[in-house]
């Protein structure tokens, strides 16, 4: 094609040339609006090209255009065109692969299905024939103890890890799977709008290349061959910009920001100026802007305050995209999930409903499975008894029949005894009884720089009270605990510790970071454990997954999770009359939380805790203190009492209860069931029994033939 006709064939009104400059500089907050339109440059160039075609014997001087240094040389332009050629080839390969993959039909209509997935690490089986699925409209909660393989399953879904056996079946081969981890992926140096723009990787690459090609065109009007190649590249980029809807990027961002709670004025603010809760909203927004087919969330509520957790629940509830959620926040799972997949001892089991319904269903399943197992054990014992009585003489034939029956029961139809994990029990050692008044704060004033946290705040804590301190992140909850512990000094007023036998035991958020790295695991706990026998200390460490070969290991060699467990062991053995806990449930799995709740409930001393875990707070406290407006609002009752007295919180809680009620399956009382309904219920129980037998039979056969 002639160069002049190439220029005339361009759609110079394309919005991507005029209004969509690239996202290049991290310090720019929006697309540059002071761009010189490419059309004005090309119009001038066209006039010169007309002269070239009609007066070939006259050499036309180039149009003098100021160009940026990065694309002024021919070498730079050749490099730009070479990069474009490589990108186009890889893009074509990706498209060809997608088209080839799309030709095969999937066995599921939406979401993802894990089918007989097994995975081992160094001979240790983590997952064993795991099968479950998530479909459109489903929000699946993955539960299990730490180390059960929950995150491994997410990594297998995303392709970050390969299973040893089994298949991951996706509704479509080019599924967009997005992952929201507990460490939010944001760049603190960007503005909010730039952060959202970073979600559009391909679109930003096209915009960046358009910018570079435009600058290159402005500096190559004296080289017609090079200009022709650049115009070809511009034509290709224009088509790519149209295919990725480049002009819709800003429209999507402007629509998403208010949905996440951001105002237009927030666009130019730095990400670093926002709290972790708002940074989580940015991470979530970036994911949803990519229009995912599946959303994976790994501990999304860690480090979030109550208000942000409740916002996240409400926002995710409105989304229709299939979700898989790993969380140890039981209230969060209750509010959000409509299916629970439990992984225990490598085996998965699926339950319909939210977390509370899963607990009830699991208890019912365990009971029915145990009854079925017991019944079969009686059959086996009776059969053995028959064999022993008939094994001699004329009854040998009957004994042989009984032996075959026993073999069949034990090999093919045997029902496995349901496994129930033992609940570990701990007790906080107490050192006598404190006086009546444990802590008194009078007219407390404190802040950091110009930020005032407490102004004329007063509080009295008495022996035996178990108090939750609540409030949004940044309001001063952790600082209040540090003031009580004497780690911060008030600007005004006073903080007084009771005079008689007040022995505090302080667990801070970064407790693991305060460990002595040069000590061993055993030494770390032994140095604070009074009146503990060495065997008891080793037993405690063993219950926290520190095996014998790890006891002499240096703390510096432990992983982050191991350090957190060690810090908790150290906290548990120290005698006290006052427990001061700052976010103690962070990184604990649900059984560990239940263990901690029981220990605190049986502790006769005083407890003061900062926590955003609603389920945990409801279990342990008898008083709530809310940090609000630089003061302390006291509620002389448990968390339910706080909800009754705090109208805003009560309204939110009632709304959540109504939503849960709407989701819950309607169950009739047996006395109100019709005869047909009673028969149907009996049939369901019989089928459950038969299914249990059939599953056990399948496992036995698999063992026989493998």
HEC-encoded secondary structure of 201-257:
HHHHHHHHHHHHHHHHHHCCCCCHHHHHHHHHHHHHHHHHHHHCCHHHHHHHHHHHH
Bridge partner residues of 665 (DSSP)? none
The Cα–Cα gap between 73 and 78 comes to 9
| Whole-angstrom distance, CA of residue 683 vs CA of residue 689 | 10
* N residues, the chain: 706
Higher pLDDT, 616 or 17: 616
Strand order in the sheet with 139-143: 177-180, 294-298, 323-326, 139-143, 339-344, 347-352
Whether the predicted pLDDT of 35 surpasses 50? no
CA distance 186 to 279: 7
597 confidence band (pLDDT: 50, 70, 90)? very high
Helices 276-289 and 306-318 cross at an angle (nearest 10°) of 10
| Confidence at residue 46, expressed as pLDDT on a 0 to 100 scale | 40
- With a cut of 60, say whether residue 82 has pLDDT above it: yes
| Strand 177-180 versus strand 294-298 pairing type | parallel
Which residue would you say has higher pLDDT here, 50 or 78? Answer: 78
Q: List Cα–Cα distances, 390 to 238, 381, 402, 409, in angstroms.
A: 90, 14, 9, 19
- Ranked by mean pLDDT, the top range of 102-111, 401-410, 472-481 is 472-481
Give residue 23's pLDDT: 41
Q: Are strands 606-610 and 451-462 parallel, antiparallel or unpaired?
A: unpaired
Which 3 state secondary structure label does DSSP give 678?
helix
126-133 contact pairs (CB < 8 A, 24+): 126/152, 126/346, 127/152, 127/153, 127/163, 127/343, 127/346, 127/348, 128/345, 128/346, 128/347, 129/166, 129/347, 130/166, 130/343, 130/346, 130/347, 130/348, 131/348, 132/341, 132/348, 132/350, 133/108
Mean pLDDT of 246-252: 81
CA atoms of 211 and 24, how far apart (whole Å): 9
**Which token pair is 422?**
């033992």
Percent of the chain with pLDDT over 90: 32
Report how far residue 703's alpha carbon sits from residue 1's, in angstroms, rounded to the nearest whole number.
Answer: 71
Q: 452 pairs with which residues across the strands?
A: 447
Structure confidence by residue, pLDDT tens digits, 128-156: 999 999 999 899 999 998 788 999 999 99
Least confident range from 242-256, 281-295, 297-311, 481-495: namely 242-256
pLDDT digits (tens, 9 = 90+) for 520-539: 999 999 988 887 888 888 88
What pLDDT is recorded for position 174? Answer: 83
Of residues 250 and 630, more confidently modeled: 630
pLDDT at 504: 94
The pLDDT tens digits for 214-229 are 777 776 666 777 777 7
How many C-alpha atoms does 99 have within 13 Å on its Cβ side? 6
Any idea which of 602-611, 621-630, 683-692 has the lowest mean pLDDT?
A: 683-692
The arithmetic mean of pLDDT across residues 24-43, rounded, is 38
- What is residue 623's predicted lDDT score, i.e. its pLDDT? 95
Instruction: Tell me the mean pLDDT in the region 46-66.
Output: 30
pLDDT of 665 over the 70 cut: no
Predicted confidence (pLDDT) at residue 664 exceeds the cutoff of 70: no
Q: Regarding predicted confidence, which is higher, 8 or 171?
A: 171
Tell me the C-alpha distance between 309 and 307, whole Å.
6
pLDDT interval class at 37 (50, 70, 90)? very low
User: Taking Cα atoms as reference points, which of 482, 470, 426, 479 lies closest to residue 621?
Assistant: 470
What is the arithmetic mean of pLDDT over 478-484?
94
Residue 381 confidence (pLDDT): 83
Question: What Rg value do the Cα atoms of the chain yield, rounded?
Answer: 33
Pairing between strand 466-470 and 177-180? unpaired
Q: What is the pLDDT of residue 209?
A: 77
| Distance of alpha carbon 236 from alpha carbon 677, whole angstroms | 67
* Residues 133 and 113: beta-carbon distance below 8 Å: yes
When comparing pLDDT for 463 and 474, which is higher?
Answer: 463
Q: How far apart are CA 138 and CA 488, in angstroms?
A: 47
Q: Give 167-211 pLDDT, tens digit per residue.
A: 999 998 888 898 887 666 788 899 998 898 888 877 777 777 777
For residue 349, the model assigns a pLDDT of 93
Confidence of residue 549 (pLDDT cuts 50, 70, 90): confident
Q: What is the mean pLDDT of residues 389-393?
A: 66
CA distance 422 to 406: 31
Residue 609 has pLDDT above 70, yes or no: yes
Q: Where on the phi/psi map is residue 272: left (φ > 0), alpha (ψ -120 to 50), or beta?
A: alpha
CB 410 within 8 A of CB 380: yes
The Cα–Cα gap between 524 and 583 comes to 21
Choose between 40 and 510: higher pLDDT: 510
Tell me the C-alpha distance between 132 and 141, whole Å.
12
SS3 call for 300: coil
pLDDT (tens digit, 9 = 90+) per residue, 99-111? 444 344 456 788 8
The predicted structure's pLDDT at residue 650 = 64
Cβ contact 176:200 at 8 Å: no
Model pLDDT, residue 9: 45
Could you write out the DSSP letters of every residue in 163-188?
Answer: -SEEEEEESSTT--EEEE-SS----T
Tell me the HSE value of 616 on the side-chain side, using a 13 A CA sphere.
31
What are the structure tokens assigned to 574, written together?
């120290």
Q: What is the DSSP letter of 369?
A: H
| Cα 325 to Cα 374: distance, rounded to the nearest angstrom | 36
Residue 553: its pLDDT value, please? 92
pLDDT of residue 122: 83
Alpha carbons 195 and 279: distance in angstroms, whole number: 10
More confident residue, 380 or 628: 628
What residues pair up with 141 in beta bridges, in sequence order? 325, 340
Q: Using the predicted structure, report yes or no on whether residue 261 has a pLDDT greater than 50.
A: yes
What's the average model confidence in pLDDT over 556-574? 83
- Per-residue pLDDT of 646-657, as tens digits, reads 877 666 666 666
Of the chain, the end-to-end C-alpha distance in Å amounts to 68
Query: Scanning the structure block, which residue is given the tokens 């070239």?
Result: 52
- Strand 504-507: give its sheet, edge to edge: 504-507, 578-582, 606-610, 466-470, 623-628, 631-635
Lowest mean pLDDT segment, chosen from 23-32, 236-245, 464-473, 667-676: 23-32
- Cα separation of 415 and 376, whole Å? 7
* Contact in structure between 112 and 171 (CB atoms under 8 Å): yes
Q: Which pLDDT does position 693 carry in this prediction? A: 54
278-327 pLDDT tens trace: 888 888 888 888 888 999 998 888 778 888 888 889 889 988 899 999 99
Q: What is the pLDDT of residue 15?
A: 40
Burial (CB count <10 Å: 0-12, 13-18, 19+), residue 277: buried
Task: Specify the residue for token string 């040339």.
Answer: 17
**What pLDDT was estimated at residue 74?**
64
Inter-residue contact 515 to 527 (CB < 8 Å) = no
Residue 621 has pLDDT above 90, yes or no: yes
Alpha helices (H) in 485-559, listed in sequence order? 521-526, 534-543
Element of type H or E holding 634: strand 631-635
pLDDT mean across residues, the chain: 77
């Amino acid at each position: 094609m002639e160069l002049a006709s190439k220029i005339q064939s361009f759609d110079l009104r394309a919005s991507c040339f005029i209004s969509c400059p690239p996202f290049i500089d991290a310090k720019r907050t929006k697309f540059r609006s002071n761009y010189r339109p490419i059309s004005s440059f090309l119009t001038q160039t066209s006039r010169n090209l007309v002269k070239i075609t009609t007066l070939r014997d006259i050499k036309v001087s180039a149009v003098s255009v100021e160009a940026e240094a990065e694309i002024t040389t021919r070498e730079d332009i050749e490099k730009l065109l070479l990069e474009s050629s490589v990108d186009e080839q890889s893009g074509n390969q990706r498209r060809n692969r997608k088209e080839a993959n799309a030709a095969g039909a999937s066995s599921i209509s939406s979401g993802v299905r894990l089918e007989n997935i097994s995975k081992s690490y160094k001979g240790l089986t983590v997952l064993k024939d795991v099968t479950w699925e998530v479909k459109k409209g489903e929000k699946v909660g993955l539960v299990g103890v730490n180390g059960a393989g929950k995150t491994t399953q997410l990594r297998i879904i995303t392709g970050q890890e390969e299973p040893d056996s089994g298949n991951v079946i996706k509704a479509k081969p080019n599924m967009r799977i997005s992952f929201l981890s507990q460490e939010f992926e944001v760049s603190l140096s960007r503005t909010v709008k730039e952060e959202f723009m970073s979600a559009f990787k391909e679109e930003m690459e096209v915009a960046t290349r358009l910018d570079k090609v435009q600058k290159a065109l402005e500096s190559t009007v004296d080289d017609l061959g090079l200009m022709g190649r650049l115009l070809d590249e511009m034509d290709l980029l224009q088509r790519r910009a149209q295919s990725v809807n480049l002009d819709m990027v800003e429209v999507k961002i402007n629509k998403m920001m208010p949905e996440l709670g951001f105002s237009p004025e927030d666009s130019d603010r730095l990400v670093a100026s926002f709290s972790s809760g708002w940074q989580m909203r940015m991470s979530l927004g970036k994911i949803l802007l990519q229009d995912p087919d599946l959303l994976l969330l790994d501990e999304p509520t860690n480090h979030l305050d109550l208000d942000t957790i409740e916002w996240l629940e409400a926002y995710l509830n409105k989304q229709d995209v299939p979700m898989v959620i790993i969380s140890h926040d039981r209230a969060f799972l209750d509010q959000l999930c409509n299916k629970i997949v439990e992984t225990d001892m490598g085996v998965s089991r699926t339950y319909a409903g939210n977390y509370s319904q899963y607990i009830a269903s699991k208890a019912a399943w365990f009971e029915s499975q145990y009854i079925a197992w017991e019944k079969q054990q009686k059959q086996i014992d009776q059969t053995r008894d028959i064999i022993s009585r008939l094994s001699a003489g004329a009854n040998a034939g009957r004994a042989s029949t009984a032996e075959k029956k026993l073999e069949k029961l034990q090999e093919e139809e045997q029902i496995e005894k349901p496994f129930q994990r033992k609940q570990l029990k701990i007790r906080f050692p107490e050192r006598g009884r404190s006086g009546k008044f444990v802590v008194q704060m009078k007219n407390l004033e404190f802040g950091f720089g110009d930020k005032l946290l407490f102004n004329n705040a007063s509080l009295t804590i008495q022996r035996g009270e178990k108090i939750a301190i609540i409030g949004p992140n940044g309001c001063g909850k952790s600082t209040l605990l540090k003031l009580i512990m004497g780690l911060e000094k008030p600007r005004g007023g006073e903080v007084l510790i009771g005079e008689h036998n007040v022995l505090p035991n302080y667990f801070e958020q970064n407790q693991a970071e305060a460990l002595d790295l040069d000590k061993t695991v055993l030494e770390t706990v032994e140095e604070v454990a009074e009146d503990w026998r060495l065997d008891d200390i080793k037993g405690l460490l063993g219950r926290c997954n520190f095996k014998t070969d790890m006891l002499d290991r240096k703390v510096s060699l432990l992983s982050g999770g191991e350090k957190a467990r060690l810090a908790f062991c150290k906290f548990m053995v120290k005698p006290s009359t006052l427990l001061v806990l700052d976010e103690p449930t962070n990184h604990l799995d649900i059984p560990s939380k239940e263990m901690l709740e029981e220990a605190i409930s049986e502790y006769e001393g005083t407890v003061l805790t900062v926590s955003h875990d609603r389920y945990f707070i409801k279990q342990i406290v008898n008083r709530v203190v809310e940090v609000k407006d630089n003061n302390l609002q006291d509620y002389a009752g448990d968390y339910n009492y706080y909800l009754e007295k705090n109208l805003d919180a009560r309204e939110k809680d009632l709304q959540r209860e109504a939503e849960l009620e709407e989701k819950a399956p309607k169950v009739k009382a047996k006395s109100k069931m019709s005869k047909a309904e009673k028969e149907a219920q009996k049939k369901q129980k019989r089928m459950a029994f038969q299914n249990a037998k059939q599953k056990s039979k399948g496992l036995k056969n698999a063992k026989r033939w493998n």
